[in-house]
């Protein structure tokens, strides 16, 4: 190539003076692009840095830095006194010539397992934007003592120790010890710290359990309607998800036994069924435990929000009744603290614990240590208990507000389900509205109405049918927003 042509290419390299990216990085990227698209071909000699910087009106150091980076990455070869050349090792051309490049399509199809994972959750709806009536799954965040948390974390950051290296995959030991005491006192959970594995939210626990405990093709009972965050991991693991109906006593164990006795696992929310809000009766709990012990099936107890029980004492966990070592108890800090913290835990039967610790190490080595440390301090210094008590009072107030509002303004339209626990309640339509139409109308009016159908398994038969209705979150919703939500909901249901 004649030198004049090369000089033209160099003079045309796109550099933006005053941009945030340093000039040498821009020059490096521009030369690299020219090499990859073939404008600068293998073996071509680049001008001496002195000429190069004159052509582009940049400093010599800028050119030297760009050359050095390109040489380190193998795009340029050179030796002192011999000149600088485009490497002969770069295949030509690597990319389409200049112009707008389309992003390449998927190189090859996902693996069958990958396809199973990415389609497992069916359009998961993440809540976006500012909080609105009646968002579900959200605790009251403005109550959280962020100043205290900030102080506790800062204290840890100021004194880094050996724990800041790789640490125990099971989680920070003092935190597991504190959780042990807490779970025993509040939920009757019987365990040692060695049975606890700290996870990134309960979602990771559910994924790990599905993957470790089930083989592709194994059947698993799933509450229907039920929590998609649990059926997703089961599907991702290749399990056959068998929908088992839920009634006023919780999971219909007899139905599961009659129709899918060979299941290897059952997922349940016995303290507060998601989404119907019922708690599992003692006879059902005992029947479930008896089936599991007899069939050597695992029971995954998801106890996600039972700290917030507004009437009577908290119910004892299923785990506390387990004598066969079949219950894995899963908990989360997402409801008592906040979801973005991504802290959860599982309590495994002793014989399973070590396998889960090993699995956790394979998955992500361990959960980030500083939030675990801050949580341990938060619990040990009494902030945790105080926060739960305070938030429980606030939640109860907002629940009462919602119940009063529904009774006052929508009694002819909605029939409320159980509301003695949790952060949301379900309300059934009295006049046979279409859930999806109501939910869309809600969005158009700036409120979030979660259809109960969202929790239904499309493959479930009529035995699992639930009346149409909505799940309404209350804990995070300030009174004025709740009043606005009730007004809009009334208008939608009355067609105004």
Ligand X SMILES: Cc1ncc(COP(=O)(O)O)c(C=O)c1O
- Binding residues (CB under 6 A) for ligand X: these are 137, 201-203, 227, 229, 269, 274, 302, 304, 332, 334, 339, 344
CA atoms lying within 13 Å on the CB side of residue 124? 13
Q: How far is the CB of 423 from ligand X (least distance, A)?
A: 8
Torsion of CA 402, 403, 405, 409, to 10 degrees: 130
* Integer Cα distance of 288 and 279 in angstroms: 14
Closest CB to ligand X among 239 and 337? 337
Q: How far is the CB of 42 from ligand X (least distance, A)?
A: 52
Closest CB to ligand X among 331 and 405? 331
- Could you tell me the CA-to-CA distances from 54 to 35, 47, 48, 61, 326 in Å, in that order? 21, 10, 10, 12, 76
Structure tokens belonging to residue 406: 């529904």
Q: How far is the CB of 246 from ligand X (least distance, A)?
A: 13
Q: How far is the CB of 200 from ligand X (least distance, A)?
A: 8
Question: How many Cβ atoms are within 10 Å of 91's Cβ, its own excluded?
Answer: 8
Q: Taking CA 117 as the corner, what is the angle to CA 114 and CA 120, rounded to the nearest 5 degrees? A: 145
User: What ranges in 74-123 are assigned the alpha helix state H?
Assistant: 112-118
Pair 406, 320: CB distance under 8 Å: no
Closest CB to ligand X among 53 and 343? 343
Closest CB to ligand X among 69 and 203? 203
Closest CB to ligand X among 27 and 341? 341
Q: How far is the CB of 340 from ligand X (least distance, A)?
A: 9
Q: How far is the CB of 373 from ligand X (least distance, A)?
A: 19
- Give the distance, in angstroms, between the CA of residue 369 and the centroid of all CA atoms in the same chain: 18
Q: Report the relative pairing of strands 196-199 and 344-347 from DSSP bridges.
A: antiparallel
Q: What are phi and psi of 168, to 5 degrees?
A: -60, 125
Q: How far is the CB of 285 from ligand X (least distance, A)?
A: 17
Q: How far is the CB of 471 from ligand X (least distance, A)?
A: 10
Q: Which residues pair with 473 in a beta bridge?
A: 424
Q: How far is the CB of 204 from ligand X (least distance, A)?
A: 7
Q: What are phi and psi of 345, to 5 degrees?
A: -160, 160
Closest CB to ligand X among 264 and 335? 335
Closest CB to ligand X among 169 and 344? 344
Closest CB to ligand X among 139 and 405? 139
Q: How far is the CB of 138 from ligand X (least distance, A)?
A: 9
Q: How far is the CB of 304 from ligand X (least distance, A)?
A: 4
- Which residues contact residue 402 at a Cβ distance below 8 angstroms, ignoring those fewer than 6 apart? 134, 425, 472, 474, 477, 482, 486
Peptide bond into 134 cis (omega under 30): yes
- Could you tell me the CA-to-CA distances from 51 to 6, 7, 296 in Å, in that order? 12, 9, 78
Q: Which residue do the tokens 């000039």 mark?
A: 23
User: What ranges in 142-249 are assigned the alpha helix state H?
Assistant: 146-158, 173-187, 201-213, 228-236
Pair 228, 219: CB distance under 8 Å: no
Q: How far is the CB of 332 from ligand X (least distance, A)?
A: 3
Closest CB to ligand X among 18 and 340? 340
Closest CB to ligand X among 70 and 475? 475
CA atoms lying within 13 Å on the CB side of residue 9? 21
298 in helix, strand or coil? strand
Pair 391, 143: CB distance under 8 Å: yes
Lateral strand order in the sheet of 469-473:
414-416, 424-429, 469-473, 450-451
DSSP-assigned letter for residue 455? G
Closest CB to ligand X among 169 and 270? 270
Q: How far is the CB of 309 from ligand X (least distance, A)?
A: 15
Pair 227, 302: CB distance under 8 Å: yes
Closest CB to ligand X among 205 and 482? 205
Closest CB to ligand X among 229 and 442? 229
* Integer Cα distance of 302 and 138 in angstroms: 17
């Amino acid at each position: 190539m004649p030198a004049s042509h090369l000089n033209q290419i160099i003079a045309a390299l796109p550099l933006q003076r005053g941009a945030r990216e340093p000039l040498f990085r821009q020059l490096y990227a521009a030369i690299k692009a020219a090499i990859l698209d073939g404008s600068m071909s293998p073996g071509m000699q680049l001008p001496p840095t002195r000429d190069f910087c004159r052509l582009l009106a940049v400093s010599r150091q800028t050119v030297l830095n760009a050359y050095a980076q390109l040489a380190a990455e193998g795009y340029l070869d050179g030796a002192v006194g011999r000149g600088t050349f485009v490497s002969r090792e770069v295949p030509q051309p690597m990319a389409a010539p200049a112009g707008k490049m389309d992003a390449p399509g998927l190189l090859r199809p996902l693996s069958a397992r990958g396809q199973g994972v990415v389609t497992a959750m069916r359009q998961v709806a993440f809540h976006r934007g500012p909080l609105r009536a009646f968002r579900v799954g959200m605790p009251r965040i403005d109550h959280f003592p962020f100043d205290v948390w900030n102080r506790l974390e800062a204290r840890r950051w100021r004194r880094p120790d050996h724990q800041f290296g790789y640490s125990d995959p099971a989680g920070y030991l003092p935190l597991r010890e504190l959780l042990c005491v807490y779970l025993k006192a509040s939920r009757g959970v019987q365990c040692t710290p060695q049975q606890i594995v700290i996870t990134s939210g309960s979602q990771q626990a559910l994924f790990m359990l599905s993957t470790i405990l089930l083989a592709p093709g194994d059947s698993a009972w799933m509450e229907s309607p039920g929590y998609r965050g649990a059926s997703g991991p089961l599907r991702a693991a290749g399990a056959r998800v068998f929908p088992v109906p839920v009634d006023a006593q919780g999971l219909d164990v007899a139905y599961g036994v009659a129709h899918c006795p060979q299941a290897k696992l059952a997922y349940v929310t016995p303290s507060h069924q998601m989404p119907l809000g019922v708690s599992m009766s003692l006879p059902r709990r005992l029947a479930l435990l008896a089936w599991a012990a007899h069939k050597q099936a695992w029971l995954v107890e998801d106890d996600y929000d039972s700290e917030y029980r507004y009437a009577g004492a908290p119910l004892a966990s299923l785990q506390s009744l387990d004598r066969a070592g079949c219950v894995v108890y899963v908990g989360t800090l997402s409801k008592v603290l906040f979801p973005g913290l991504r802290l959860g835990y599982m309590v495994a039967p002793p014989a399973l614990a070590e396998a889960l610790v090993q699995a956790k190490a394979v998955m992500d080595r361990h959960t980030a240590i500083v939030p675990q440390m801050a949580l341990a301090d938060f619990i040990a210094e009494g902030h945790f208990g105080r926060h739960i008590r305070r938030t429980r009072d606030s939640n109860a107030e907002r629940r009462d507000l919602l119940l009063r509002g529904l009774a006052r303004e929508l009694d002819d339209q909605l029939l409320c389900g159980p509301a003695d626990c949790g952060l949301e309640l379900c309300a059934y339509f009295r006049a046979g509205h279409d859930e999806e139409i109501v939910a869309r109308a809600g969005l158009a009016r700036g409120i979030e109405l979660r259809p109960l159908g969202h929790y239904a398994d499309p493959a479930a038969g009529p035995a699992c049918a639930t009346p149409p209705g909505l799940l309404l979150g209350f804990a995070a919703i300030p009174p004025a927003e709740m009043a606005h939500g009730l007004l809009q909901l009334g208008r939608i249901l009355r067609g105004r």
